Amino acid sequence: MLNIIDRAKNIENEIINWRRELHQIPEVGLNLPQTAKYITAQLDKMGIEYHTLVKGNAIVGLIKGNGKGKTIGLRADIDGLPVKEETGLDFQSTNGNMHACGHDGHAAILLGAAKILNENRDKFRGNVKLLFQPGEEYPGGAKPMIEEGAMESPKVDAVMGLHLGNLGKGIPTGKIGVCYGAMMAAVDVMHIKIKGKGAHGAYPHQSIDPIVIASEVVLALQTIVSREINPVEPAVVSVTRIEGGFNHNIIPDIVEIQGTIRTLNESTRHRIAKRIEEIVKGITMAHGGSYEYKYEYCYPALVNSEEFTKTFVESAKKIVSEEDIVEMKTPVMGAEDMSFFLREAPGTFFYLSNPREIDGQYYPHHNPKFDIDESQLWKGVALVLQGTIDWLNKN
């Protein structure tokens, strides 16, 4: 038997070192050459086979266990943010970007799990696929990885991933948050252009005023969630940008509106996309204007498999006490592109809370003073290992 807690604690310094080295070289989006080079160099040292996708910015590793079995995919997002770091840490980033969401910790945890799994291939059957993913913050890296075959040969039967950091009062430091079902929302963007006819501000009768039309549109959009969606179902339609006009005496031609839409199920998502256009069309037509409309489907809702999550929680109880496992009863309206992997295969995404104070306070994700508590990283490795080995040996 493999003593998972001991093994993870044994390599704690190495895990922390990976995190610190990655912390110094944060890169953003789908262009992570240094990060990918760093991770592949570690996999080379471990003797783990891999190939790259998304122009070399995503890494898919493969560890074959002892005998035929299923394949589990372990996902870590590895991108940073264009934020100038102000933590004052010894290993603070100096390249103008920052690991301000803890993805350096995710990558270090997956490297730790990979190392121990690779050294203990005789302890499990089936395969483990390592999914190091770029572009989680934007523009999305899971989708191109899947399109390029990350979930095939061998086909991935289940997926697991985690998020570290400051996860709010619901999940205190050191505890883990699990969710049986819908956990995070789908995120989409609406782009609306209201086209009228410009004129002198003193002669409105010669215009088709897009500002008045846009105002009606903004108010009418509020009724989608308040009047058309079942009140017990979470949904958000937020107008977040409105732009038009030049001066006090000119009625402009065009007003642009942008906003975010958050939903938890596909039918509501498509319904809102359709209703926005119907409202825009009706109001602009009523005033003699015209419009352009684009609904951009971004990340789908993140939905955990109830069955897989149950198995994972049983495994997690071998690593942490039962009181340290917090069930999230309500989803959050934030988004994560882990959802694309979870659409391809059942699995679970969980939180490991480990915020660290800077100057006496906890800063939120994406803040220049955000930091993670490294003393919890071994626990992430142990949880991923236990969940992986138990699931592979059971299936």
- Give the residue ranges of the annotated binding site for Mn(2+): 101, 103, 137, 163, 366
As a whole number of angstroms, the distance between CA 365 and CA 59 comes to 25
Parallel, antiparallel, or unpaired for β 235-244 and 176-178?
A: unpaired
**Cα dihedral sign for 340, 348, 52, 63?**
negative
**Residue 319 C-beta: closest distance to Zn ion, Å:** 22
Whichever of 86 and 119 has its CB closer to Zn ion, that residue is 86
Give the residue numbers marked as catalytic: 299, 374
Secondary structure of residue 370 in the 3-state scheme: coil
Total residues binding Zn ion (CB under 5 A)? 1
Is-contact 95 80, C-beta < 8 A?
A: no
Secondary structure of residue 222 in the 3-state scheme: helix
Is-contact 101 160, C-beta < 8 A?
A: no
Asked if 101 interacts with Zn ion (CB under 5 A), we say yes
Give Cα separations from 250 to 195, 212, 214, 244, 288 (angstroms). Answer: 15, 13, 16, 11, 19
Asked if 187 interacts with Zn ion (CB under 5 A), we say no
Whichever of 193 and 262 has its CB closer to Zn ion, that residue is 262
Whichever of 25 and 98 has its CB closer to Zn ion, that residue is 98
Which part of the chain contacts Zn ion (CB under 5 A), choosing from 95-103, 255-263, 276-284, 386-394?
A: 95-103
Whichever of 374 and 390 has its CB closer to Zn ion, that residue is 374
Whichever of 101 and 326 has its CB closer to Zn ion, that residue is 101
As a whole number of angstroms, the distance between CA 382 and CA 296 comes to 38
**Which amino acid is present at 150?**
A
As a whole number of angstroms, the distance between CA 208 and CA 31 comes to 45
**Residue 325 C-beta: closest distance to Zn ion, Å:** 21
Annotated binding site: which residue ranges?
A: 101, 103, 137, 163, 366
User: In degrees, to the nearest 5, what angle opens at C-alpha 366 toward C-alphas 364 and 369?
Assistant: 65
**Residue 136 C-beta: closest distance to Zn ion, Å:** 6
Which part of the chain contacts Zn ion (CB under 5 A), choosing from 100-108, 213-221, 263-271, 302-310?
A: 100-108
As a whole number of angstroms, the distance between CA 171 and CA 163 comes to 12
Which part of the chain contacts Zn ion (CB under 5 A), choosing from 86-94, 98-106, 139-147, 321-329?
A: 98-106
**Residue 83 C-beta: closest distance to Zn ion, Å:** 10
Which part of the chain contacts Zn ion (CB under 5 A), choosing from 2-10, 12-20, 94-102, 206-214?
A: 94-102
**Residue 172 C-beta: closest distance to Zn ion, Å:** 19
Q: Which residues bind Zn ion (CB under 5 A)?
A: 101
